[in-house]
Amino acid sequence: MFVGVVLNPQARKNRRAEPDRAARLSRVLGPHGEVVETRSLDDLPDAVERLLPRATHIVSDGGDGALHWLINEVRDRLGDAEADAWPTFVPTNGGTIDFVARKAGVRGHSVEIVNRLAEAASARRPPREVSLDTLEVEAVRADGTELSRVGFALAAGGIGNRFFDKYYEDPDPGAATIVRIVAKTIGDFALSRAGLVRDSSYSDHLFRPTPARVTIDGEVVTTDVHSGLHAGSVDVNFAGVLRVFPFARDPGVIHFHAGDMRPMVIIANLPRLIAGSALQGDNLIDEPGHEMRIEAGDEILRPILDGERYTDIRALTVRAGPKIRVGQVRG
């Protein structure tokens, strides 16, 4: 084993950590690997080049977004054909949601996780691993250039996408932020329907559908506006508050959402989102599948993939991506 640690000091929990965090992690890791600190995404290519091909395990010391960029940088270096030779990834619960770590059963935070990996390397007994399905998202920007990314959860439009506009307005987002957004949206909508408030811009923004032409496995979705345009390769637990994509619990299955739902139908589905059940609605597509194609209507797409925002997207295709090995480290 050789453990590479990519430290993202801008991650939520890392911003509150000790200033010599990289040095501390290096001491914990000892001779069994190397810690590389990245101050921005511009530093990531050099960090990955420095760690490959020695690293058998790469720790992403940040949140889901940091892991997203790390996986894609490794992919850019090694290619999909070499996915079996990619290192094992280890997230550290350093972000605001950490749904990948939850799914993989990773416990603890970076110091404990790195310590466990150092012990495993010393004993020459690598930790158990779980193989996670991914999405491959191929997109065309408004200027005609192409983009390819892999990830686990996509919110291409509708309420799931607009949710992140509100989520990242909070300087310290987390589970409480999710609860506040849900409560404020329902309250704002209810008060406006009762005529008690004139300004319902908060709920109007979240409930506003996204215009798009969508096909799922070759079948055209009949509506041209969508309250949700989502896809997940794994079932996602949002900070213990909301649970989505239950069909993706089964290996090899992508869970798709598309279609138009009135705000009252979305609100009525809230208990299902909390319980992690499939959604219900007359004009809703909520089903497993293999491929989704989305073409923007009169509103350019700004999809969110693993919490990271991409802009100026005209069209995208979602299908199964390479499997990712994640170390089940319990700090």
Distance in angstroms (rounded) separating the CA atoms of residues 317 and 143:
17
Q: Residue 19: its pLDDT value, please?
A: 66
Please give the pLDDT value at position 268.
96
Across the 331 residues of the chain, what is the mean pLDDT of every consecutive 10-residue run? 88 60 93 94 95 96 94 94 90 93 94 96 96 98 97 97 95 94 96 88 96 97 96 96 96 95 95 96 94 97 97 97 96 82
> In this structure, which amino acid lies at residue 104?
A
Q: What is the pLDDT of residue 81?
A: 79
- Torsion angles phi and psi, residue 12, rounded to 5: -55, -55
Cα–Cα nearest to 2, from 65, 51, 74: 51
Q: What fold does the segment set 153-305 form as a domain?
A: Tumour Suppressor Smad4 (2.60.200)
Residue 92 has what pLDDT? 93
| pLDDT score recorded for residue 285 | 95
User: Of 111, 87, 138, nearest to 313 (Cα)?
Assistant: 138
CATH number for 3-133 (one of 3.40.50.10330, 3.40.50.300, 3.40.190.10, 3.40.50.720): it is: 3.40.50.10330
pLDDT at position 117 is: 97
CA dihedral 7, 9, 14, 16 (to 10 degrees): 150
CB 105 within 8 A of CB 328: yes
Q: Percentage helix, strand, coil, to 5, in the chain?
A: 35, 30, 35
Please report, for the chain, the start and end positions of each structural domain, with discontinuous segments joined by +: 3-133, 153-305
Please name which of 111, 106, 72, 109 lies closest in space to residue 94, comparing C-alpha atoms: 109
Residue 161, C-beta contacts closer than 8 angstroms, at least 6 positions apart: 155, 210, 229, 302, 303, 304
